[in-house]
Structure 1
Amino acid sequence: MGDRKTKLTQSQLALEITTKGWTMGPDLRDEIFIQITRQTTENKKEDSLQRGWELMAILLNFFPPTHKFYSYLEGYISRHIDTKYDLENFSLARWCRTHGIRFTDIVDDEHYNHVPIHHFAEHCQRRLERTMQSGAKRGVRKPSLDEIEQAKKSIYCPSMFGSTLDDVMKMQKDHYPERRLPWIQTTLSEWVLKLNGAQTEGIFRVPGDIDEVNALKIHCDQWKPPTECIDPHVPASLLKLWYRELEAPLIPDVFYNDCIVNYTNAEAAVAVVNRLPEINRLVLAYLIRFLQVFAATENARVTKMDVNNLAMVMAPNCLRCESQDPRIIFENTRKEMGFIRTLIQNLDTSFMDSIE
């Protein structure tokens, strides 16, 4: 929080605290959150106060409190949300424009103490609810400095990558309030086709140049279409990345077993799609309609990407196996591919023609 001098950067300190909480378990996690709430209560030092809220937001990307401490933390966060703001439509970008402040100035600290506390609290509240549902960061790899930096950046500059579908739709309200589909999804898909991706060998299998993909990611996060791009593999790679990095999988976990069980049953597979939340159903239907273009014989003959290959590269971007057992993961991979293949071959996507 900047109250004591240290040789480490704030991100390095945040990484140290995050790693300890992530590796050492629930009791220490609660203690960390307790200390942050204490340090941010009646703290008169503006920059220290906001660093504390920033740290809480970062930590909630990696682990939740225990259920026992959840109620207290949720109540503490809620008390700092300013109800005079319409939080559903609150945009830090709009707030910055109103106050003549640039996003980059916030991140670079020039106007750091101008960010309203309710913005941190609202971010923490959403993050708390998600992490209580999903649990601590999965896997065996410890948090990295890059992940800490990304968690910090997301507080101030929400990205369309790594967010939920609901959040992506909220982000685009300022730009495309009438759209029912994510702008990032339709734009990248359209550019793959504009660049003749349907007649490009290895599309979706051959990766685009990583530097160009990273540059395009930044470009798209600024709501700019990839007009400078000439290689269809680049928007195709970024499109796959967007699906893969969704905070929650395109097909929610609660439907996973139904997909695995019915991976060859066309009627049951379509029924699963129709039971999805509306935004998930529309986004998945758009993806399947898009893949059906590539699965057409005249295109697959050139791209060498028939329905089986398309299902193989896209299934991991739609479904996520929660098991850590290698045998189950291996067996389910085949079924995940089968489910997506069944949808490509059987899902009627004609109703998507009038939806954008």
Structure 2
Amino acid sequence: NLRKPSSETDIENWASKHFNKHTQGLFRRKVSIANMLAWSSESIKKPMIMTNDRNVKKEACEIFKLIQMYMGDRRAKTDQLNVALEIATKGWSMQGLRDELYIQLCRQTTENFRYESLARGWELMAICLAFFPPTPKFHSYLEGYIYRHMDPVNDTKVTQHIKEILERTNKKKSKLRKKPKPYIEEHDGVAISTYAKYCYNKLQKAALTGAKKGLKKPNIEEIRHAKNAVFNPSMFGSSLQDIINMQKERYPDRQLPWVQTRLSEEVLALNGDQTEGIFRVPGDIDEVNALKLQVDQWKIPTGLEDPHVPASLLKLWYRELEEPLIPHEFYEQCITHYENPEAAIAVVHSLPRINKMVLCYLIRFLQVFVQPANVAVTKMDVNNLAMVMAPNCLRCQSDDPRIIFENTRKEMSFLRVLIQHLDTSFMEGVL
């Protein structure tokens, strides 16, 4: 679902309207927009974006130095992960700093001909996008900037430019006979377009989900996870097929996603079927975040006590699937046959195999909760369960509030029909 953002010069246009006027040198000459959007080894004396917020003014200059430290362009007092933690925490805590941070990252990854620094700049952008999006007014400009770097042609240009500068440096070195440390190094690292594609997807997701929820600031473990996620994708927000591919090595014989079955088992192990408000009452958000981190490392901690925590994470997993559990092309059939058990079941059996298996496992799981002995305690009958789970299985693509409202009722009815009528006995023992 890539769409080409508007004009190539968007970020320059935006800059001309929102940038502070910067000066340089003895005669305080104005720095052009082009130079303000190009890599610099110098520090900055004021924010790049005009602001009246004193805190943002102060932090903007600090964060520019931190970005330079992370990218290896300035000496750091601490290790790389802690520098990233400081940057992400500042951006997460201070909403007014977010666009400034992203424009600084755009600057430091433009006309930067030291590959190591360039790659680290993109890596840092990926880390930040795991914790907070830019503001809506800057979103499309950042999107355009990232989009332009997704083209492999851009990789060739970068490589070629680095090569040319390296050759020029080597010629100068041979003339001078001295051997100063070359400023440019050859690279055989990851293509910048790989980072850009990852950042593009992260930006789209961050725009929908917003900044990291909860009261706890980002921690070093989350930073490490965000950094590694560029090359080790998360089980959250991926497609079902990608998730199955991820687990191939660990669980070659599993037909269902490990994350789905393990979290479902954990809800039952903690007596979720005998817990009032299960799937309706949210688990503590910081505990849910911590569990998500563990699950992405294929671990389920032993000390869990509250079934609402794995239940909330399970709902989140379904909700964040890259494509809805019931794919868009089946949506109209679902809301057409929301009262017809035979037709609704026929829709399930026409789904792609992986979607059908995952959906049938979910329905079988929910059928445990609608047993009268459990409903008496949980207060979650089939209507309540259908109401909280339908949005995690079906996604209405309309923007019209009336259609969304009308379809919500049909989505719930469709799921209720499946819980009541779908024979899931064939899923017994399937993992």
Tell me if both proteins adopt one fold, taking TM over 0.5 as the criterion: yes
Question: In the alignment, what sits opposite 2:153?
Answer: 76
Question: In the alignment, what sits opposite 1:89?
Answer: none
Give the drift of 1:175: 2.2
Give the drift of 1:126: 7.2
Question: In the alignment, what sits opposite 1:203?
Answer: 278
> Which amino acid in the other structure matches residue 294 of structure 2?
H
Give the drift of 1:342: 1.0
The one of the two structures with greater contact order (alpha-carbon pairs below 8 A, sep at least 6) is: 1
Partners in 2 of 1:220 and 1:228 — Cα distance? 14
Q: Which runs of 5+ in 2 are unaligned?
A: 1-37, 45-60, 68-87, 134-138, 158-185, 214-221
Task: Determine which of 86, 105, 117 is the counterpart of 1:47.
Answer: 117
Question: In the alignment, what sits opposite 1:216?
Answer: 291
On the 8 A contact 2:344/2:418 being kept in 1, the answer is yes
Partners in 2 of 1:320 and 1:19 — Cα distance? 31
On the 8 A contact 2:108/2:121 being kept in 1, the answer is no
Task: Determine which of 329, 333, 338 is the counterpart of 1:263.
Answer: 338
Question: In the alignment, what sits opposite 2:178?
Answer: none
> Which amino acid in the other structure matches residue 232 of structure 1?
P
Please state if 1:289 is matched with 2:364.
Answer: yes
Determine helix, strand or coil for the equivalent of 2:428. Answer: helix
Question: In the alignment, what sits opposite 2:410?
Answer: 335
Give the drift of 1:350: 1.6
Count of residue correspondences: 301
On the 8 A contact 1:198/1:299 being kept in 2, the answer is yes
Please state if 1:117 is matched with 2:200.
Answer: no
Q: CA, structure 1 residues 324+116, in 2 after alignment: closer, same or farther (shift >3 Å)? A: same
Q: CA, structure 1 residues 340+223, in 2 after alignment: closer, same or farther (shift >3 Å)? A: same
Alignment of 1:24-63 (within 5 A): 39=111, 43-52=113-122, 55=125
Give the drift of 1:340: 0.6
Partners in 2 of 1:157 and 1:137 — Cα distance? 18
Q: CA, structure 1 residues 190+117, in 2 after alignment: closer, same or farther (shift >3 Å)? A: same
On the 8 A contact 1:273/1:281 being kept in 2, the answer is yes
Question: In the alignment, what sits opposite 1:159?
Answer: 234
Alignment of 1:223-262 (within 5 A): 223-262=298-337
Partners in 1 of 2:123 and 2:308 — Cα distance? 40
Please state if 1:16 is matched with 2:86.
Answer: no
Moved more, 273-282 or 285-294: 273-282
Q: Percent identity?
A: 51
> Which amino acid in the other structure matches residue 189 of structure 2?
P
Q: CA, structure 1 residues 263+304, in 2 after alignment: closer, same or farther (shift >3 Å)? A: same
Q: CA, structure 1 residues 52+236, in 2 after alignment: closer, same or farther (shift >3 Å)? A: closer
TM-score (ref. length: structure 2)? 0.58
Give the drift of 1:3: 3.7
Partners in 2 of 1:241 and 1:2 — Cα distance? 39
> Which amino acid in the other structure matches residue 47 of structure 1?
S
Question: In the alignment, what sits opposite 1:91?
Answer: none
> Which amino acid in the other structure matches residue 349 of structure 1?
T
Q: Per-residue CA shift, 1:330-351, capped at 9, x if unaligned?
A: 1111111011111111212122
Determine helix, strand or coil for the equivalent of 1:155. Answer: coil
Partners in 2 of 1:328 and 1:299 — Cα distance? 34
Partners in 2 of 1:196 and 1:78 — Cα distance? 53
Question: In the alignment, what sits opposite 1:29?
Answer: none
> Which amino acid in the other structure matches residue 16 of structure 1?
D
Q: CA, structure 1 residues 201+77, in 2 after alignment: closer, same or farther (shift >3 Å)? A: farther
Give the drift of 1:54: 6.5
Question: In the alignment, what sits opposite 2:263?
Answer: 188
Partners in 1 of 2:351 and 2:154 — Cα distance? 31
Please state if 1:306 is matched with 2:381.
Answer: yes
> Which amino acid in the other structure matches residue 212 of structure 1?
E
On the 8 A contact 1:2/1:51 being kept in 2, the answer is no
Q: Per-residue CA shift, 1:102-121, capped at 9, x if unaligned?
A: xxxxxxxxxxx999314x64
Give the drift of 1:144: 5.1
Bigger Cα Rg: 2
Q: CA, structure 1 residues 218+57, in 2 after alignment: closer, same or farther (shift >3 Å)? A: closer
Q: CA, structure 1 residues 123+163, in 2 after alignment: closer, same or farther (shift >3 Å)? A: farther
Partners in 2 of 1:77 and 1:347 — Cα distance? 51
> Which amino acid in the other structure matches residue 116 of structure 1?
G
Q: Which runs of 5+ in 1 are unaligned?
A: 21-31, 81-112
C-alpha RMSD over aligned residues: 4.2
Q: CA, structure 1 residues 167+57, in 2 after alignment: closer, same or farther (shift >3 Å)? A: farther
Moved more, 330-339 or 227-236: 227-236
Give the drift of 1:271: 1.9
